[in-house]
């Protein structure tokens, strides 16, 4: 009996040496190449390209084409986006702008009647802009690709010919988007064979389109049969795109915008993205405060972030648009002087009112910015890296699939300031910088991010879908890593908030604690429960080890490792 008692009391001594983890969000680590995307099949395709000897750009091209099959609501060749590329041997970062473009005949009058915006321009043929993704992916291949284009597209062809698995996420998405049901061609692809969990989705016309791209490069999409099919469908259905618009489209190269932040250099996408401006200006404001006075996931921290988020969008409406059409004062917007001035306007105990800061900040109306974008991050064995964010706009874009092509198209014409001249510039819909003009690219929130340490070694790649929420999503991941030294799993999964301006609503995720919400209300915030905010796909590099994490907020994402 005494032995039993002694044994019982010895148990706490044994358990005191028990090893456990500080949180449940474990990154995937490797010293090899890594791909993180929102779909497990696409991540695996990218990793296999790396294993075959391809570089990060090769893998990015393969992933970019594959997502048009595996994630049709956001992945695309019928949309557009932005790509940051880091060349390790040259130590350079470049940006490829393949944002969708307004056709030549696009005009204010086309979208208005009797001085009012037409009600049916957010979906359907009138909403479609000239797609840029194919041009962007092929521009990347021209610059840095090492494997033949056919090898990079073939995995997608194999997947399409075998049938794309209908995952729980795809099944959910197909059941929630009415615009797909309004287009006969989309119905024939996505619904006529029955939508069953675990079933297969087939798109034989998309196979033919991809084969034309393999054979003829960009001309296989922007000229010839594919362009003919686009024009035919547009004429028949009241759309604007013509073959001449397709032929004129070009992906554009530029330097990404950047700021110095606490010993790091942070790169993001410049205009026509307003997301990069919002992220970098927010970081510069946060830099004016002592991060040690705050703690992530606390009410005081979220309050400060909410105030910074409002200011982070300052002048976005007034100044940000297509740089080919507008002079954009980037240096001024990202300057220390402006950051300091904004920081001095923040009350650490009280939420600001719109009237108080209206002369400092401008509005983004998120009704124009869909959350169904997607992002992927890639690093190869040589240290080359790619961060890509691209979109169709709404989930499944316009809802229109161009007959004979299998290409699901964007609704990015809706992202122009369609009420320019009807509203003042407090509202995005009235922004002069983003007013509709032929061949113009609409403002976007997409903002892939790359961060380098004080020795200019690559440290973090991240990005997210989320529409107008994208800048605030990326901001929180960056601060969690750089200021609070969190690993990429916890930095990703801490509860997120989001705040527009003007507007008095602070959106929060369900995982924010009730005590935090109570204090935020005392500060004067009007809080509103949100759906999950974003889905960041990130790679953190520390001591030459890569740590990848696929955000758990959306299903089917994956970190895949080069073999």
pLDDT of residue 329: 86
Strand order in the sheet with 505-508: 497-499, 505-508, 526-529
pLDDT of residue 10: 40
pLDDT of residue 198: 87
0.85 exceeded by pTM: yes
According to DSSP, the β-strands at 401-402 and 385-391 are unpaired
Measured CA to CA in angstroms, residue 339 lies from 32, 331, 342, 457 at distances of 39, 12, 5, 26
What gap in Å lies between CA 87 and CA 452, rounded to an integer? 13
DSSP state of 256: P
Tell me if residue 373 is catalytic.
yes
Question: What residue has token string 């940006």?
Answer: 95
pLDDT of residue 396: 95
pLDDT of residue 423: 54
Q: Which of 123, 209, 373, 374 is catalytic?
A: 373
- The structural domains of the chain, with segments of one domain joined by +, span 32-251+373-430, 257-368+446-555
pLDDT of residue 493: 98
Q: What kind of architecture, by CATH, is found in domain 257-368+446-555? A: Orthogonal Bundle (1.10)
pLDDT of residue 315: 58
Q: Per-residue DSSP letters for 310-373? A: HHHTTTHHHH-S-TTTS---HHHHT-HHHHHHHHTT--TTSPPPHHHHTTT-----GGGS-S-E
What gap in Å lies between CA 391 and CA 95, rounded to an integer? 16
Mean pLDDT by 10 residues, the chain (563 residues): 40 58 95 98 98 98 98 94 97 98 93 81 94 98 98 98 93 86 94 84 97 98 98 97 98 96 97 94 96 94 95 70 86 90 92 63 41 92 97 94 98 82 54 86 94 97 94 97 98 95 86 97 96 97 97 97 96
């Amino acid at each position: 009996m005494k032995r039993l008692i002694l044994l019982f009391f010895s148990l706490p001594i044994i358990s005191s040496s028990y090893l456990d983890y500080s949180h449940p969000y474990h990154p995937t680590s490797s010293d090899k190449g890594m791909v993180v995307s929102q779909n497990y099949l696409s991540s695996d395709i990218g990793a296999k390209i790396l294993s075959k000897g391809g570089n990060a750009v090769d893998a990015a091209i393969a992933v970019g084409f594959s997502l048009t099959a595996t994630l049709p609501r956001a992945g695309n060749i019928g949309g557009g986006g932005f790509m940051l590329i880091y060349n390790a041997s040259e130590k350079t970062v470049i940006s490829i702008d393949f944002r969708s473009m307004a056709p030549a005949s696009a005009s204010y009058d086309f979208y208005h009647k009797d001085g009012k915006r037409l009600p049916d321009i957010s979906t359907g043929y009138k909403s479609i802009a000239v797609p840029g993704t194919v041009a962007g992916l092929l521009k990347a291949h021209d610059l840095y690709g090492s494997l033949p284009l056919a090898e990079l597209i073939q995995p997608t062809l194999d997947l399409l010919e075998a049938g794309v698995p209908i995952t729980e996420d795809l099944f959910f998405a197909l059941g929630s988007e009415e615009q797909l049901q309004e287009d006969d061609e989309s119905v024939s692809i996505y619904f006529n064979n029955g939508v069953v969990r675990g079933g297969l989705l087939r798109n034989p016309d998309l196979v033919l389109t991809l084969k034309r791209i393999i054979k003829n490069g960009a001309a296989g999409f922007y000229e010839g049969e594919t362009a003919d099919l686009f024009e035919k469908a547009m004429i028949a259905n009241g759309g604007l795109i013509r073959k001449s618009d397709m032929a004129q489209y070009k992906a554009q190269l530029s330097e990404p915008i950047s700021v110095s932040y606490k010993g790091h250099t942070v790169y993001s996408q410049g205009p026509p993205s307003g997301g990069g401006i919002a992220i970098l200006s927010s970081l510069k404001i946060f830099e004016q405060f002592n991060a040690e006075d705050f703690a992530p996931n606390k009410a005081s921290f979220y309050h400060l972030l909410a105030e910074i988020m409002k200011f982070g969008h300052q002048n976005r409406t007034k100044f940000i648009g297509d740089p080919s059409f507008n002079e954009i004062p980037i240096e001024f917007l990202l300057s220390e002087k402006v950051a300091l001035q904004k920081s001095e306007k923040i009350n650490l105990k009280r939420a600001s009112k719109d009237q108080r800061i209206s002369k400092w900040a401008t509005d983004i109306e998120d009704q124009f910015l869909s959350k169904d974008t997607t992002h992927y991050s890639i690093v190869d064995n040589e240290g080359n890296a790619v961060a890509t964010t691209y979109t169709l706009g709404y989930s499944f874009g316009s809802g229109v699939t161009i007959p004979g092509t299998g290409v699901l198209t964007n609704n990015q014409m809706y992202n122009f300031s369609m009420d320019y001249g009807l509203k003042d510039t407090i509202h995005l819909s009235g922004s002069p910088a983003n007013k509709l003009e032929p061949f113009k690219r609409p403002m976007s929130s997409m903002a892939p991010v790359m961060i380098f340490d004080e020795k200019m070694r690559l440290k973090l790649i991240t990005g997210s879908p989320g529409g107008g929420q994208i800048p605030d999503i990326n901001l929180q991941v960056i601060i969690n890593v750089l200021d609070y030294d969190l690993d990429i799993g916890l930095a990703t999964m801490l509860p997120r908030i989001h705040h527009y301006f003007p507007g008095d609503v602070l959106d929060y995720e369900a995982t924010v604690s009730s005590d935090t919400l109570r204090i935020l209300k005392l500060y004067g915030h009007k809080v509103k429960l949100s759906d999950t905010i974003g889905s960041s796909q990130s790679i953190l590099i520390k001591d030459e080890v890569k740590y990848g994490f696929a955000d758990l907020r959306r299903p089917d994402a994956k970190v895949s490792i080069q073999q």
